[in-house]
Amino acid sequence: MANWKPDPSFYPSPRMAMKAEPETLAYVAAFDPTRTVPDTLAVVDVDPKSPSYGQIVHSLAMPSVGDELHHFGWNACSSCLCPNAPHPHAERRYLVVPGLKSSRIHIVDTKPDARRPTISKVVEPAEVAERAGYTRPHTVHCGPEGIYVAALGNAEGKAPGGVFLMDHETFEVRGQWEMDRGPQQLSYDVWWHLGHDTLVTSEWGTPDTFENGLMPEILLGAKYGRRLHFWDLHKRKHLQTIDFGDKYQLVFELRPAHDPTKAYGFVNTVLCLEDLSSAIWVWHRDGEKWAVTKVIDIPAEPADPDQLPPMLKGFNAVPPLVTDIDLSMDDRFLYVSCWGTGDLLQFDVSDPFKPKQTGKVRIGGIVARANHPAAKNGALNGGPQMVEISRDGKRVYFTNSLYGAIDEQFYPDGIDGWMVKLDAKPDGGIAFDEKFFVEWPKSHRPHQVRLQGGDCSSDSYCYP
């Protein structure tokens, strides 16, 4: 009788995941903003003992051009150990890599050689649209019973966007997830509280309102996303909407507590129309309902209009533009990317309602153009964007590109891509690893980072 064992990168609880071996590789989605050569999945050596530490050791080119690789995820993760839909013998082997512009989904095999992954399957846009009724896949999360993909548009690229499921072994598109979507129309991120049978979704906009850049009339008219949606995870039914109000725009990244007994999480709003600030909110239980509480305000910084891009000249200020957040595995530290000012902030959120800032670095920024100790090209552009934390919480990685058309709106000279790493102290405090600065090839810009074996935004757990 065969002795089957779960994938060694699966852990029943976040406490156990924190004891995992350090990652040695990072996978980074990178796109060509000119759409003339294929996008790539880059492999970066993150092993400090390696002679190629801090270097791109391989780039896997996609078979087509114009995909705009954006967010991606694993086919399977620690949620496969959950008792409600166990798949303990699934394998964390494949990366599911969608193109946000093309709606094409690439299945990338990281075995047998993790440093040289290969493409094993491509799911064409027509199949996604026909089987699920959606286009523009954005967020990929491995769940207990399959792969959840949040999509920004319906089959015609309009509203409603939503969620569809893929099989985590065959990668066939199963179909639309929602049975009853209620009032939900806009889509962005998706995540859940497995222990509370709750799925959460956030909002951006339909593809026609952002694919050529943010539209000022939509933004200032408060017509981008401003809501959170809560769902019954197993009945696939919409339960509740929370509206942040018409002055808050772009409700983006969902970061639920990793401890499955905790019924709260963090979400960012990118822009307040009154003062250009960004904010961090906590969603939490309030009796029988869900509620949100704003816990962090990050103000805009005054700036000389001569140093600002055309989109901001009339405001005389640099907005922080918080476009990503990430939560450490022990639910203690929240990392906040301020793509506009160039700050990467660390907050102690042991008490989620009373965050305390414990660390800050600055790199890039619309006006600051702050440098890095290892950079050779002087003033840097772009700013902290997609951020990822190692499972043990000791290392933080981030890149500097948001989305091709939007990059140019805030950084008119274009973005020279880079990836950096921070070292995090156990009780708070962050500093650049001065030996780790990955200067990206000029042909591409880096976006999301995934760490070999899992990271703090890839897995969910059913045991505390």
User: What CA–CA distance (Å, rounded) separates 74 from 189?
Assistant: 16
Which strand (E) or helix (H) includes residue 64? strand 56-65
> Which regions of 244-332 does DSSP assign to beta strands (E)?
248-256, 264-272, 278-286, 289-298, 301-302, 317-318, 322-327
* Those residues with Cβ within 8 angstroms of residue 290's Cβ, 6 or more apart along the chain or in another chain: 198, 228, 230, 240, 242, 283, 284
Q: Distance (Å, rounded) from C-alpha 233 to C-alpha 190?
A: 11
Q: How far is the C-alpha of 346 from the C-alpha of 406, rounded, in Å?
A: 25
**What pLDDT score was predicted for residue 3?**
61
pLDDT of residue 9 exceeding 70: yes
Report whether 382 contacts 411 (CB < 8 A): yes
Binned at pLDDT 50, 70 and 90, residue 2 comes out as low
Residue 200 lies in a domain: yes
CATH number of the domain at 331, please: 2.130.10.10
Q: Is residue 464 part of a domain?
A: no
Whether 458 maps to a domain, the answer reads: no
d(CA 140, CA 127): 17
What's the pLDDT score for residue 24? 98
β-bridge pairing 278-286 and 264-272:
antiparallel
pLDDT confidence of 1, banded at 50, 70, 90?
very low
Domain-located, residue 4: no
pLDDT for 120-171, tens place per residue? 999 999 999 999 999 999 999 999 899 999 999 999 999 999 999 999 999 9
Q: Would you call 14 helix, strand, or coil by DSSP?
A: helix
Which pLDDT does position 87 carry in this prediction? Answer: 82
Q: Which of 406, 405, 385 is nearest to 336 (CA)?
A: 385
Give me the domain span that covers residue 84: 14-451
Identify whether 6 is part of a domain.
no
pLDDT tens-digit series, residues 77-136: 999 999 887 787 889 999 999 999 999 999 999 999 999 999 999 999 999 999 999 999
Evaluate whether residue 461 is within a structural domain: no
Residue 158's pLDDT is: 97
> What one-character DSSP code corresponds to residue 161?
P
Q: How many domains does the chain have?
A: 1
Mean pLDDT of 34-43: 98
Average pLDDT over residues 377-395: 95
* Average confidence score pLDDT of the chain: 97
**Cα distance between residue 173 and residue 71, in whole Å:** 18
- Structure confidence by residue, pLDDT tens digits, 178-236: 999 999 999 999 999 999 999 999 999 999 999 999 999 999 999 999 999 999 999 99
Closest CA to 443 of 47, 36, 17, 14: 36
Region 357-372 average pLDDT? 98
Residue 2 lies in a domain: no
Share above pLDDT 70 across residues of the chain, in percent, rounded to a whole number: 99
Q: Looking at the whole model, is its pTM more than 0.95?
A: yes
CA distance 415 to 412: 8
Specify which residues 327 forms β-bridges with: 334
Q: What's the average model confidence in pLDDT over 381-405?
A: 98
Tell me whether residue 260 is in a domain: yes
